[in-house]
Structure 1
Amino acid sequence: MIPSAFDYAAPATVAEALSVLADAGDDVKLLAGGQSLIPVMKLRLADPAMVVDLGRIGELSGVRDDGDALLIGAMTTHHQIATDPLIAEHVPLLAKAAATVADPQVRHRGTFGGALVHADPAGDMPAPVLAADAAFILAGPEGERRVAAADFFQGYFTTAVDDGEILTHIRVPKYTGWGAHYEKFTRVAQQWSIVAVAVMVRVEGGTIAEARIGLTNMASTPLRATAVEQALVGAALTREAIASASAHAAEGTDPASDLNGDAAYRRHLAEVLTKRAVIAAAGL
């Protein structure tokens, strides 16, 4: 199928894009990489009267140092996230997760911000961003505001971005020297994650001093595995201690049951994948 007819705008600045949105009304969609929007438009699951293409807005792309954090443009591609030297040094979890997204073609076209605003519970980028305590910078008619990652994801395909707003940047604190790993489980190559786990740990003196863990596809939004995080702090750097802490991975989750597996299966996967990811992040 092909999409219904729609009007098209390609603004060159954020201010111009906000002006177009204000004039377009409610029946408008923003186009980032298009890897999610275009397929649903072809299926007529989305039928906007106008599409606003953000691809010409250069200020929305790239990664820059922002003191104690990295500032990542929403239009930065997954490939750029996976290969950027600043991200590799300071937030390697993002690079590891981005490298698993779909296939090379999608990674070169799909965008970091687009995937986050799409908020698919099986998407690979929300959980790492949540684990990293990132902040989302939104531009709108009333100016700029920041939303913490913990408040950004609100439900299935639903975020804190209001009508008339644009996600411009994601500010991610630096975790220089931390170990990181992203472990995902799929039945076939390039499939959406049935379950995935994003892990960062700071090791000090033979123990785990800090841990941050995000879960993919264990609820309608990404979740922090707080029970595991708490159990890991101060734990000996052994596989046995990590396995004991990882047994708490499914606590507080609400996984769906579908053709890929029921809720019990996903809870089991969460425990197994968390153990694997923490062991890998800790360098054991």
Structure 2
Amino acid sequence: MMKFKFDKKKKYLAMLAPSFVVDFNYPEVISQLRELGFDKVVELTFGAKMVNRCYHEKLKNSKELVIASVCPGIVESVRERFPEYVRNLIKVDSPMIAMAKICRKTYPNHKIVFISPCNFKKTEARKSKYIDFVIDYKELAVLLQVHKVRGKKKDCFDKFYNEYTRIYPIAGGLSKTAHLLGVLNKKEARVIDGILDVEKFLKKPNKKIRFLDATFCKGGCIGGQCVSSKLSLAGRKKKVLDYLKLALNEEIPRGKRGKINRAKGICFEIKTRASKTSIFDSHQKPKVSEIFDPIK
């Protein structure tokens, strides 16, 4: 097995999805990533906040069904199996792409590495010009083991702390954090996790539903294919909720909170979702020796 060696002439930024707490300990994982060779470590929560702001504005001006596009598995399922609903997909970046854009603006000289809970996000990352490399949770666990990385207990993310969107990886996390009251009533929004149930809805939709908050995996991102945890979905959900509680009582270092002005000038809207290739065409897991190969 080849051991990855960072290019000492380059700087690397690790971008963690908040579902990481299901498989890794916080805040030890931050120092583990630094010990592995990352210069900066951030999570996606601030990107999720910016996505929420876009959703709020879009839903205010929409009278027909809007399908959330935060889950690439749902986006591709709609495009492949329900093309009549493609126009209903909200044309807003996923939190991963939104956060990558913010990081690219803030750290223009860093290589951005996304650490993923699922294959769908890995493929979405490979298609993005804002992300340079991608690994999943299982691959990260192997790297930490191979390099015998332990990490320290005390460490913190470099920037962009945002507490409430830490529940994003739980089914319905988007709906609960997007401040949709006043835009939709409860009967106009539907949360569905698991592609089979999503397909049932799309085959026979409820005409009263204006917003579909859907995820491909049961439980949301905590049920991703690349999550190693043996915990039940309920146990994984508790891990995320405990992480949120910790965040609410956590003292955030000065200057490290995610503020809207840090995303000033960045566009999070998408003109088109058309693609010549499908996520379903690319599910081969790379070998550990290939984990950090450039994804382009």
Give yes or no for TM over 0.5.
Answer: no
Normalised to the residue count of structure 2, the TM-score between the two structures is 0.25
Higher helix share: 2
Normalised to the residue count of structure 1, the TM-score between the two structures is 0.26
